[in-house]
Structure 1
C-alpha cells in the first residue's frame, strides 16, 4: 500500500478518499513521529474539541488498515511511504518517464489552507511548491537539451515547465529563459507568460524604442515626393514629434516671438534673413532635402503663411507638417491614432498613447505624463473628463446636469476630448492614468464627486459619496445621508446587517440613518449599543418600537411591551414593526393565540409595504403559533419552503427547522437548523446563530448524539455571550446542563435568568433543578 500525494490524495489500492485524514497521513510520512496534541492543534485549530477531531480521523484510518498507524497515548507515526521521495529521486536522476508518471498534479491538489493552522498551511504550500519546482527544473532541462541538439520542440517543453500545477511563479531569471524559449518557437504560451510577468512586475524586454508600431507611418512620410505636402495630424502625446525626428530631412520646431522665427532656424538662411514671402519662397524652392515642421500651432504667423503658400504652389522640397488641428488647405492627411500592439496590461494604463507608453515603460510618473496631455485643454474639458472618469458606466445626462453644460457645449467638449484620444466615446481611453492624475487633484475630484452624486440613482451615487468622504473627512455632504439611508435600509431588508453596519457606523448623522444604525446593531446582537444609539433619537413611534426590541433582548419584557404598543400609534411601517415585536413577545410568553393574531396583522402590513422578506418572517411566526395551537401548518410551511426569495434567510430556515422538529421530522429539521447556523454566522448575526446552534444541539440530543449536541451547545453559548443574548445564553447553558446532568450549570443558567425578565424559562429550569436533585438524592 502506498500514499499518492501528487494530484488528489489517494491511498493506493483503497477507495478511501477523505482529504483531512489522508493529509494527516502524508504529514506523518514526511515529517515522522508527532505529538498528538500538536497534530490536533495544527489540523483542527478552530474545532471545539481538536483532540476529539484527531481521534475521529485516526479511527477512520485504522478502519482502512490497522497497519497504517503507530499510535500511543501521546504520539502518532506511520510506517507508510509516500511518493514525494520517489519524485525527487526521479528528478535527480533525470528519469523523465518516471517523473511524469508520478507527477499527476500539485501536491495534495484541491486542499486549501482555510481550516488549517498557519504552520500547517505554510508546510502544505512549501511542500507543494518544492515538488513542483523540482519537476519544473527537470522539464526546463529537457527544453535546454532540445535547443542544444537542434531538434526543435524546446517551446513545448518550456510550455510544460511554465504550466506545472502547484508551482510558484518563476523567478525573474527563469521567467526570462522560459520566455526566450517560447518566443523563439512562436509558441502561443509566450503571450500568457508575458501577461503574468507584467502583472508581477518582471521585466522581460529592454525598453522599446518610441517608434514601435509606427513603421507604416514612417514609410509614408519617407515617400512624400518633391512639391507635395503631407499634413501629419494627431493630438498631443500621440507621437508626431518622435516620428518626424526619425524621418530624413531638416526638422524645424515651431517658434514664436518674432516674424519668421520658425524658418529662421534653417541653417542655410543668411543673416538677417529674407523679409518678404516671395524671398522666402525662392529660398525654400531651392531646397531638395525634405522639410519637416513640428508643432504647427507654435509656429509664428509669418512662417505659417510662407509654408502654406509653398504647399499651394507644389514647388520645393517634400514638406511634412505636424499639427493637432486639421489643415487650413485641402492637403493630404496622415492621422496618427493610439497604438494597438501593446504589452499585456498596458491598455488601461496608457490607452495606446505613445507619451503614456513611454512614461510607463521608463517607470516615469503616469500622473505627470497625463497632466502634460491635459495642459492644452480648458478647465471645463478637464472637469468633464474627471467627471466621466469617476463613473464605471458614464451617465451623460447626469454628467451634463451636474456640470450645468448646455447641449452644444457638452457636444463640443466631448468632441475635443475624443480628438485628443483621451476619450473613446464617453469612456476614458487610459483609465488607470486618469486615476493616477486624479489622485494628484483631490480638490477637483471632490468637486466632481459632489456635483455628480445628487444626479444619480442612490445605488450609483453611494460610492461617489464614500469617495468624497475619504477625500474630505466629511459625512455632511448634500444628499449623502438620504442615499446612505436608502442603501442601508435595503441591506437590512435583505438581512445583510454586517454590510449595513459597516456603512452606517462611520457615516450615520441624520435621525433616519442613526435609527438604521440602531437597527443594524440590534440585528447583530449588540443590544446595549443599539439602545444607546436609539435613546438619543426623538420619541417617534418607529424609534420606540426598535428601542422595545433592544430592551426585550436585554431582559425587560414589560418595557418592550410598552414601547411596542406605543408604536401602534405611528404610520404603517411603525405599526408593522410594532405588531412584529408584539408577536415575538407573545411567542416568548407562550400566548400563541395572541402571537398568531399579531403576526398576521404584521404580515398584512408588510405586504402593503411591499416588503416580501419581512412578510415571510411573519408567516413563519404564524406557523410556529399554529403548530403550538395544534392547527394544520402545512400550507404555511409549503409557502415558506417554496418562497420566491433567492436565498431563505437564517431566521426562516430556523423556523422551518423548528416546525419540522415539532412534527418529529428530526433529520430534516437538523439540516435546516445547521444551514441556519452557517448562514447566520456568515452574516455575523449572533442572535440567530445562537438560536440555531442551540436547536442543532437539541436535535443531536434527541438523535442520541451526545458529543455533537455538546459541541453545538458550546457554539450557541459562545455566540449568545458575544451578542449579549441573555435568554439564549441561559437556554443553551441549561440544555448543556441537562445533557451532562450538571447541577452547577443549571444553577448558572438560573442566575442569568433571575431578574432578567425571562420568568417562563426560569420556572422551567427550576423544575429541572429539582428533578435532577431528586435523581441524584440531593436536597
Structure 2
C-alpha cells in the first residue's frame, strides 16, 4: 500500500478516493509528525470545532489500515508515498528513476475549496517538486546531448520545458535548454526565443551544427581496423563515452556495415544481415562466411546470449568476414587484435586549441565542448548517471591538489572495497588515473565552483582526515564550517603550514595563515614571530601582551619573542632586562637568544663579544634547521670582519652566495654588505649596483625594515659624497618605509641623518633624546661624534 500523489490523489491497490483525508495524509508524509492543534488550525480554521473536524477525518482514514499513527497530541503518517521515493531518487542522483514516478503535478485535480494557508502550502509544494522533476529532465537531456544522442536529448529538453506543475523556466534553465536545442530546428526554439525576449535575456547565437559523431584523434585505430584481413576479429574496449560508437561510425565510410547491439530475441543483433529469420548459431555462421563482409558490432554486453555464442564460434573458426566488436571490458573471446581506447592526448587535439585543457581529452566532455555545452555541466550529468558514490569520490579527488586515497576513503566513509571499485569505474571511464589523479581537471574545478556549499563540506571532511602536513588548505576552504572539536587538528595544520612558509622565506604569508587559524598559544607564538619577520614589531608585541600580560611569568619561548620585539622596537633597556631574565632560567641558550645577545653587544659597541655570539648563533641556527636565520648571523660576522680591516668583497663572498635561496633573509645580508661597502669607500659603481639590488629585493619581499635600512645607508653614501639632494630623497624614502613598523632605533637613526642634512638642530636634539631614553646611548653618542667630526 502506497500513497500516490503525482497526477492526483489515491492509494495504490485500493479504491479509496476521499480527497480531504488524502490531502491530510499527503501533508503528513511530506512534513512529518505534526501536533493535532496545528493540523486542526491549518486544515479547518473556520470550523466551529477544528479539533473535532480533524478527529472525523482521521476516522475516515481508518480503512487504510496502518496509514496513520495517533499518539497523544501528535499525528504521524506511516504509509510510504511516491513523493518520498521521488525525492530519495533525486537526492541519490537517480534522475531516470525519479522521473518514472513523476506522472503529473502534485495532487493535480483536487476539487476541494482550500483556505489560503493550505492552498499556499499545496501550490508551493507542487512547484518545488515540479522544479526537481525539471532538473532531472535537464540532467538527462544534457547527458544525452553530450554523447551526441539527439533524439533522447531533445525529448528530455521538451519534457523539462513542459514539466507539469512547474512555473515558467528561469533564466538559467532557459540557457541550458538553448544549449541543447538552439542549434537545431526544433519547434521549441521559437518559444525559447520568445521567453528570453520577455525576460530581457540575450541568448547566444546558435553554433553551427557539427557532425553528430566527429572522429578526432583515432586515426591509428581507424587505420588498424581498415587494414584487418578477412576472417579476423578485432575487439575494441573502453568505458562508456570513450568513443567506441564514434569510431565504428567512421568505419561506414570504409565499406563496413555497423550494427548496434539488440537484446531480447535470439540472434536479434545479427538479424538485419539476413532477409530470413535466423534459427540457429549455424545460420549466423553461414552469414559470416562472406569474405567481402566487413561487420562492426556495437556493445558486446547488450547483445543476446545466442549472438555472443555465435561470435565466439566465429572467433575460433575464422569463417571469412572481417568483424569488429566494441565492449566495455577486455576481450571475452580469442582474438589477436585488441584496441583499448583511452582519453585523447594533447597531440590528438592540436587542431582544437584549448580543448584538451578544458576536457582532459575525455571524448564525452570533448563532444560537449565542441557543441558549445559547458564541459562541467556535461561532466556533472555523466557523474550523476554513474551514481552517487562515483560523483562524491570524483569531487573529493577534484578538491585535492595531490590525492590522498586513505584520507579520501575516511572522509567519504567508504569501505576499502567500495573505494577500489568506484575508483576503478572512474578510471575505466577515463576520468581519473588508478592513483586518483584527475584527467579532466578544468571541468572538475568548474564543477566544484558551481556547487560551493557541497564543495565546502567536502573540504571539511577531507581536512578532518588528511595528515597535518596536507590538511591546512582544506581547513581554510571549510573555514565557515569549523566546529569546536576541530580546533586542535585545525590549529596544528595551520601551524605546520605557516612554519613551512616561514622556512621558505614568506613570513607575510605565514602571518596571514595564522591570523585566520584557531588562536591556540602555539599558533599565536608563531604568528608573533611571523609578524616580527615581516617588520611589524608593534603587532608582534601586541600578541605577546595580549597572550601573557604578566611578563615575569611568561614561558621561555614567549620571553624570547618579547626580547626580539624589544630589539626591533629599539627598546634596548627592555631587551637587556629580558635577556637577563632568560639567563636566570638556567636553560642553555637557544639560537635566537644567542643571536639577540649578539645584537645587544653590537648595539653597545662590544664588537669582539658580538662576533663570538653571532658565530655561535649561526652554528645553532643550522643545527636547528634554520639556514635562513644562519645567513643573517653570518652576514653580521662578515660586517664585523670588514670593520677589522678585511676586504668587503672577500668577507661577504660566501654568505652572499649562501643567501640566494632565502630572498627575505638576503635583504638583511645585502643591507649589511652595502653598509660595509659604504664604510670602506668602495667605488660608486659597485656601491650603487649593490644598493639597487637591495632595495629592489626588499620591495619584492615587502620587507619594510630591510628597505628602510638600505635606503638610509644609501642616503648616507650620497650624503658623504655631498650629493645632498639625492641624500634627502633617500632618507625620506627610508622614513616612509619605517613608519608604522615600530622600530624606534631605525626610525631615530634615519631621522637624525635627515635632521643633520637639513641642519635642523631642534629635531636632531629631540631624536637623540628619544634614542638615549630607549637605551641607545651608544648610538646617540656615535651620532653626536660623527656630527662633531
Q: Say yes or no: TM over 0.5.
A: yes
TM-score of the pair, normalised by structure 2: 0.58
Cross-structure match for 1:326: 330
SS in 2 for 1:676: helix
Does 2:710 align with 1:697? no
Cross-structure match for 1:305: 306
Q: 1:637 to 1:397 in 2, by over 3 A?
A: farther
Cα deviation code 1:239-278 (max 9, x no counterpart): 23345567475855556xxx549949979999xx99xx94
Does 2:705 align with 1:687? yes
Asked whether the 8 Å contact 1:497–1:520 carries over to 2, the reply is yes
Cross-structure match for 1:518: 528
CA distance in 1, matches of 2:355, 2:734: 52
SS in 1 for 2:353: coil
SS in 1 for 2:213: coil
CA distance in 1, matches of 2:378, 2:244: 16
Q: 1:617 to 1:559 in 2, by over 3 A?
A: same
Residue 241 of structure 2: which of 213, 222, 237 is its match? 237
Cα deviation code 1:442-487 (max 9, x no counterpart): 26852784377418xx4xx2xx631452245467577554454344
Asked whether the 8 Å contact 1:234–1:323 carries over to 2, the reply is yes
Q: 1:631 to 1:490 in 2, by over 3 A?
A: farther
CA distance in 2, matches of 1:240, 1:731: 77
CA distance in 1, matches of 2:228, 2:645: 96
Residue 618 of structure 1: which of 617, 627, 633 is its match? 633
Q: 1:437 to 1:540 in 2, by over 3 A?
A: same
Q: 1:758 to 1:253 in 2, by over 3 A?
A: same
Cα deviation code 1:179-218 (max 9, x no counterpart): xxxxxxxxxxxxxxxxxxxxxx999997465232357767
Does 2:370 align with 1:357? no
CA distance in 1, matches of 2:759, 2:564: 33
Q: 1:529 to 1:284 in 2, by over 3 A?
A: same
Residue 503 of structure 1: which of 513, 523, 527 is its match? 513
CA distance in 1, matches of 2:701, 2:585: 31
1:528 shift after superposition: 1.9
Does 2:376 align with 1:367? yes
CA distance in 1, matches of 2:328, 2:544: 62
1:220 shift after superposition: 7.9
CA distance in 2, matches of 1:479, 1:229: 58
Q: Which runs of 5+ in 2 are unaligned?
A: 1-203, 549-553
TM-score of the pair, normalised by structure 1: 0.58
Cross-structure match for 1:652: 669
Cα deviation code 1:627-682 (max 9, x no counterpart): 66x68788992565565333571222222333344444474555544433332232
CA distance in 1, matches of 2:220, 2:640: 81
Q: 1:346 to 1:679 in 2, by over 3 A?
A: same
Give the root-mean-square deviation of aligned CA atoms: 5.1
Cα deviation code 1:120-146 (max 9, x no counterpart): xxxxxxxxxxxxxxxxxxxxxxxxxxx
SS in 2 for 1:368: helix
CA distance in 2, matches of 1:644, 1:219: 58
Residue 737 of structure 1: which of 736, 755, 760 is its match? 755
Does 2:455 align with 1:442? yes
CA distance in 1, matches of 2:228, 2:632: 79
Cα deviation code 1:318-337 (max 9, x no counterpart): 87654212354336655444
SS in 1 for 2:658: coil
1:598 shift after superposition: 3.8
Within 5 Å, which residues of 2 pair with 1:313-462?
321-330=325-334, 335-340=340-345, 341-342=348-349, 343-374=352-383, 417-423=426-432, 426=435, 427-439=437-449, 440=451, 442=455, 445-446=458-459, 449-450=462-463, 453-454=466-467, 458=469, 461=470
1:237 shift after superposition: 0.6
SS in 1 for 2:610: helix
SS in 1 for 2:516: helix
CA distance in 2, matches of 1:309, 1:581: 88
CA distance in 1, matches of 2:296, 2:639: 88
Cα deviation code 1:548-595 (max 9, x no counterpart): 222343353322222233334679896321222232223223344553
Cross-structure match for 2:37: none
CA distance in 2, matches of 1:612, 1:336: 51
Asked whether the 8 Å contact 2:632–2:669 carries over to 1, the reply is yes
Task: Give the length in aligned residue pairs.
Answer: 554
Q: Which runs of 5+ in 1 are unaligned?
A: 1-200, 773-779
Cross-structure match for 1:706: 724
SS in 2 for 1:722: coil
Asked whether the 8 Å contact 2:695–2:707 carries over to 1, the reply is yes
CA distance in 1, matches of 2:603, 2:240: 74
Residue 564 of structure 1: which of 579, 589, 592 is its match? 579
1:740 shift after superposition: 2.1
Q: 1:250 to 1:643 in 2, by over 3 A?
A: closer
Cross-structure match for 1:465: 472
Cross-structure match for 1:89: none
Q: 1:514 to 1:569 in 2, by over 3 A?
A: farther
Cross-structure match for 1:549: 564
SS in 2 for 1:535: helix
Q: 1:219 to 1:627 in 2, by over 3 A?
A: closer
SS in 2 for 1:237: coil
CA distance in 2, matches of 1:658, 1:225: 83
Asked whether the 8 Å contact 1:657–1:669 carries over to 2, the reply is yes
Asked whether the 8 Å contact 1:541–1:568 carries over to 2, the reply is no
CA distance in 2, matches of 1:207, 1:449: 41
Does 2:592 align with 1:577? yes
